[in-house]
Amino acid sequence: MHILLLIFGVALLLFGGGCTILLGGIGISDPSSFSQDITTFLGIWLPLGLMPLGVGFWLFRRGLRIGRQKRAAATIERGKSHAKSETSEGDL
């Protein structure tokens, strides 16, 4: 599950970042059109650039957090089973 979150998070980060760079490049090359029609720029940039960046960052961080929790739980379980095997071998 956390692998899917990481994949979708990276995909959204790339998409949002690409749209932001594209719109930023258009804005730099023709600043007069964006300064006159800022609502159109925001109407395009917010849903295609900023929101995917935010959601992608959140999904990526969430996937990392879940992966770390699973690894920590597996390490604790491995330590418990290792401790049990040492005590049972010591009893023999």
Q: How many angstroms separate the CA atoms of 6 and 52, rounded?
A: 14
Share of the chain above pLDDT 90, in %: 53
Task: Work out the average pLDDT over 8-17.
Answer: 96
Provide the number of structural domains found in the chain: 1
Q: From the CB of residue 65, how many other CB atoms can be counted at a distance below 10 Å?
A: 12
Q: How many angstroms separate the CA atoms of 49 and 31, rounded?
A: 18
Task: Work out the average pLDDT over 6-16.
Answer: 96
Q: How far apart are the first and last CA of the chain?
A: 42
What is the residue range of 85's domain?
Answer: 2-91
Using one digit for the tens of pLDDT, what is the confidence trace for 14-52? 999 999 999 888 888 888 877 788 888 889 999 999 999
Q: How many angstroms separate the CA atoms of 92 and 86, rounded?
A: 10
Its pTM stands at 0.76
